[in-house]
């Protein structure tokens, strides 16, 4: 059997706090060995080796929050196109959210989506099941049957559950399956039809706004419910200083909560809307600069556990409309790592801490064995050039939809190669 080897790399494994020079030896798609001792002179015969030229080699990224749109919304994205985008971004595992048509609130849908992913997607796909039927926030979905079918979490995606008693019951019931409930943290009665965060920019632009405190209000409510029920609760994409303070306090009280954010919340503020740029319309909305800085601080001190892409493709027609009518959402699989590397280049996070938010932390949330370099595990790996500069061109990204908030932005850091179970699913050299 032919071995594969990646040599002369800067090995980065957040799970073991490893940052050293060395290599990875792969056999039959699994990691046979890795470390400083993996060198050309120590390889077995008939090994197919590649010199990584000192570039960074990390576990493949785990994206805990993405919308793949299949089935039912294939005009926006498919498993195949999302997989290509993920591979180009160093993501080897995507957690697919249930906002499909039909909604993933039935075990048969879980099986259909899983089979479709195996057949067409070049990277691994896990599935989050709906928390309520049809994502309507009225009646709890069959969490037990969904769990048996293989979902890794429960969520209503971009919809917050307004009914506090329903949320209490759902959290209590979820404890039977030891799976997290992932929430969109905005009190829906406060956000209403607002399209921007409340503040000076929204007033200046004449756009209907939603108060930023809507996020902290729902976070505080669910923290108390989590403390009461003992559930596992995760806020998917926090964006405000108040909500992050609430999470910090809950963790100090040892309540079982975790939280994440997305690259656009640590890299952009509400000024990005600029001349009514619909590609910068997201939910929750981009916040003021003080909130963006609080997100960065939350990542630095560990209050925010992870970064996910919040990949939500939208068709061109749904964005080429007046700002207030545009559908919220941005694509992010391909840009999650390079945008987040700004935190490293700005000396706000060290490299291992940053990678931890996109590898072992999301894997732990989802309860999967991924996001680490370990003997016997699948060789899901990401090779990237830490300093390679490039300019984002939305039309050149591999997602079917092109609604990136970072179009035209200059980034530093580029994925060179992505492997899933030892198979190369993306190579920059082939572009």
Per-residue pLDDT of 270-309, as tens digits, reads: 999 988 999 999 999 999 999 999 999 999 999 999 999 9
Cα atoms in the Cβ-side hemisphere of radius 13 Å centred on 420: 21
In contact, 217 and 183? CB cutoff 8 Å: no
| CATH architecture, range 60-366 | Alpha-Beta Barrel (3.20)
Would you say residue 1 has pLDDT above 80?
A: no
Are 47 and 3 spatial neighbours (Cβ–Cβ below 8 Å)? yes
Residues 312-348 have pLDDT tens digits of 999 999 999 999 999 999 999 999 999 999 999 999 9
> What would the two tokens of residue 197 be?
């965060």
Taking only the tens place, the pLDDT of each residue in 121-134 is 999 999 999 999 99
Residue 431: pLDDT above 80? no
CATH number for the domain running over 3-57+377-388+409-430? 2.30.40.10
Copy the structure tokens of residue 45.
């015969």
Identify which of 285, 38, 33 has the alpha carbon closest to the alpha carbon of residue 158.
285
Rounded Cα distance, 173 and 229, in Å: 9
Q: Would you tell me the crossing angle of helices 213-229 and 241-252 to the nearest 10 degrees? A: 20
Report the predicted TM-score, pTM, of the whole model to 2 decimal places. 0.96
Residue-level pLDDT at 46: 87
* pLDDT exceeds cutoff 70 at 178: yes
Summarised one tens digit per residue, pLDDT across range 5-49 is 999 999 999 999 999 999 999 999 999 999 999 999 989 988 999
CA angle 70, 177, 64 (to 5 degrees): 40
Residue ranges, CATH 2.30.40.10, the chain: 3-57+377-388+409-430
Residue 73, pLDDT score: 95
- How many other C-beta atoms lie within 10 A of the C-beta of residue 181? 26
Give pLDDT, residue 234: 98
Report which of 7, 10, 28 is spatially closest to residue 375, judged by C-alpha positions.
Answer: 28
Judge contact between 28 and 422, C-beta under 8 A: yes
Please say whether the beta carbons of 170 and 161 come within 8 A: yes
CATH 3.20.20.140 domain extents, the chain: 60-366
For 135-149, what is each residue's pLDDT tens digit? 999 999 999 999 999
């Amino acid at each position: 059997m032919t071995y594969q080897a990646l040599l002369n790399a800067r090995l980065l494994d957040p799970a073991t706090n490893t940052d050293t020079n060395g290599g990875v030896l792969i056999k039959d798609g699994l990691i046979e060995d890795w470390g400083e001792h993996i060198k050309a002179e120590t390889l077995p015969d008939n090994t197919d080796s590649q010199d990584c030229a000192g570039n960074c080699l990390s576990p493949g990224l785990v994206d805990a929050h993405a919308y793949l749109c299949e089935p039912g919304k294939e005009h926006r994205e498919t498993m195949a196109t999302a997989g290509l985008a993920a591979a180009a971004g160093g993501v080897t595992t995507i957690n697919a959210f249930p906002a499909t048509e039909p909604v993933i609130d039935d075990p048969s849908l879980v099986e259909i989506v899983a089979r479709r992913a195996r057949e067409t997607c070049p990277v691994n796909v896990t599935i989050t099941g709906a928390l309520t039927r049809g994502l309507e926030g009225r009646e709890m979905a069959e969490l037990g049957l969904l769990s048996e079918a293989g979902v890794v979490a429960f969520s209503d995606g971009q919809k917050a559950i307004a009914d506090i008693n329903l949320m209490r019951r759902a959290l209590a019931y979820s404890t039977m399956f030891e799976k997290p409930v992932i929430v969109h943290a905005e009190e829906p009665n406060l956000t209403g039809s607002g399209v921007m965060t409340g503040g000076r920019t929204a007033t200046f632009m004449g756009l209907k706004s939603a108060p930023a405190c809507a996020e902290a209000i729902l976070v505080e409510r669910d923290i108390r419910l989590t403390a009461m029920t003992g559930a596992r609760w995760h806020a998917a994409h926090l964006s405000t200083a108040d909500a992050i303070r609430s999470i910090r306090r809950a963790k100090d009280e040892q309540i079982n909560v975790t939280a994440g954010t997305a690259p656009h919340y640590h890299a952009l503020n509400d000024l990005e809307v600029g001349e009514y740029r619909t590609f910068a319309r997201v939910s929750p909305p981009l916040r003021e600069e003080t909130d963006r800085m609080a997100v960065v601080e939350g990542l630095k001190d560990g209050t925010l556990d992870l970064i996910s892409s919040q990949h939500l493709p939208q068709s061109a027609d749904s964005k080429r409309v007046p700002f207030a009518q545009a559908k919220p959402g941005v694509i992010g699989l391909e840009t999650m790592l390079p945008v987040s590397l700004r935190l490293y280049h700005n000396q706000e996070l060290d490299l291992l801490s940053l990678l931890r938010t996109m590898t072992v932390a999301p894997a732990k949330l989802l309860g999967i064995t991924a996001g680490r370099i370990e003997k016997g595990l699948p060789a899901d790996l990401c090779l990237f050039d830490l300093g390679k500069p490039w300019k984002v061109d939305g039309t050149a990204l591999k997602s079917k939809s092109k609604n990136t908030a970072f179009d035209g932005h200059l980034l530093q850091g580029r994925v060179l190669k992505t492997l899933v179970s030892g198979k190369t699913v993306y190579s920059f050299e082939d572009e």
